[in-house]
Amino acid sequence: MATHRLTELPADALEMIESVAGPVHDVEMVSAGYNSEIAARLHLDAGTVFVKGLRQEHPRVWTQEREADINPHTHGLAPALRWQIREGEWDLLGF
């Protein structure tokens, strides 16, 4: 996997992520997938987190809420949702 600079993430989204997850040291953007404007693996002090994000005005942003709602019922099948941020322009899910 190629490692990318932190500037690959929109600055406002990065700021929100760091407010809940701590400093982001490195970013691996994920090109696969069709339902996210942001899809990245982030390297933090405490390990890694996968982030998916859509702008709140995106027509499919409702899918983020659906994924957050169903996640507690997917234990053992899917990564656990650590946090959801709905602020400013973004709806972000951290796994």
- What's 20's domain CATH number? 3.30.200.20
Mind listing the pLDDT tens digit for each residue in 48-76?
999 999 999 999 999 999 999 999 999 99
| Per-residue confidence (pLDDT) for residue 26, from 0 to 100 | 94
What one-character DSSP code corresponds to residue 17? H
Residue 60 located in a structural domain = yes
In a domain, 26, yes or no: yes
Using the 8-state DSSP alphabet, how is residue 72 labeled?
A: G
User: For residue 31, is it within any domain?
Assistant: yes
**Total number of domains in the chain:** 1
Provide mean pLDDT across the span 19-40: 88
User: Per the domain annotation, does 82 fall within a domain?
Assistant: yes
Confidence of residue 31 (pLDDT cuts 50, 70, 90): confident
pTM for the predicted model, two decimal places = 0.88
Beta bridge partners of 90: 55, 87
| Domain, as residue range, for 15 | 6-94
